[in-house]
Homo-oligomer: A and B are copies of this chain.
Amino acid sequence: MPEEPLHRQIADDLRQRILGGELQAGDPVPSENALMAEYGVAQGTARKALGALVAEGLTEARRGSGTRVRGFRPILRRGSRRLDRSVWGEGRSVWEVDLDGRPLEVDRLTVQEQPCPERLAGALGIAIGDPVWVRDRRYLVEGEPVMLAASYHPASIVAGSAITREDTGPGGAPARLAELGFAAVHYREQARTRMPLPGEAAALELGAGTPVMLVVRYGWAEGGVPVEVTEMTADGSRYLMEWEFPA
């Protein structure tokens, strides 16, 4: 008879307690048994209510321990870095940023030559299957994975340079591209979001209900020559992306 299913009513109750501030980050949420008693429902129903909150990313369940409220303290990634931030409002963001301090470490770096995959050929201005160098890596903050990134460069440009080695040297890939006469002068970045594939969830150690932010950066040298495409897969619960531009 209930127009609203029981499990959703319970989930709504719990969600309100969380969003209303009654239950704060780290606080335990009532257990399945507690909900069975409180609402007089079967375990499956209590379980479904708790599962809904997990799927929304509001809570985190651990076997034997219980279910707790999650928090959000993002890392800030700035797309454009050149402008002086102090000019335009030191102004607090609407989100509290757990900024800086903690350095990004690189993990699981692989560098190899591959045939250019179909989706990148147009953006790199080369043919499908043409050789590209791929720098694939994982970023950690305080030992926890937060982002995956793979950079692609046409082999016709970077072959023989330090970009094809693990250590790109001082200034990194941008500096090497500049030495090759192909300094990137213009970037375009595209971002979308979706739920992670199992492989991504594993590599980023994502909890259920955590979407990923996908960012693709396209870089061009003078004259419109494509020199880089980077595909990033970021933990949506850890990242805040920022871009800055004139009106």
Contact = CB atoms under 8 A, between A and B. Distances in A.
A236 B185 contact: no
Interface of A: 12, 15, 19, 55-57, 72, 74, 79-80, 82, 87-89, 91-95, 119-120, 122-125, 174, 183-198, 208-209, 211-213, 216, 218-220, 224, 226, 229, 231, 236-237, 239-247
B192 A213 contact: yes
Q: What secondary structure prevails in chain A residues at the interface with B? A: mixed
Given A190-B240, A242-B188, A242-B190, A87 B57 contact: no
Copies of this protein, total: 2
20 contacts: A56-B196, A57-B194, A79-B243, A80-B246, A87-B186, A88-B224, A89-B125, A89-B224, A94-B190, A186-B246, A187-B245, A187-B247, A188-B242, A188-B244, A189-B242, A190-B240, A191-B240, A192-B239, A193-B213, A219-B247
Please indicate which of the listed interface residues A74, A185, A193 has the most CB atoms of chain B within 10 Å of its own CB. Answer: A193
Contacts of A236: 192-194, 211
A247 B175 CA distance: 12
Given A193-B211, A244-B188, A94 B120 contact: yes
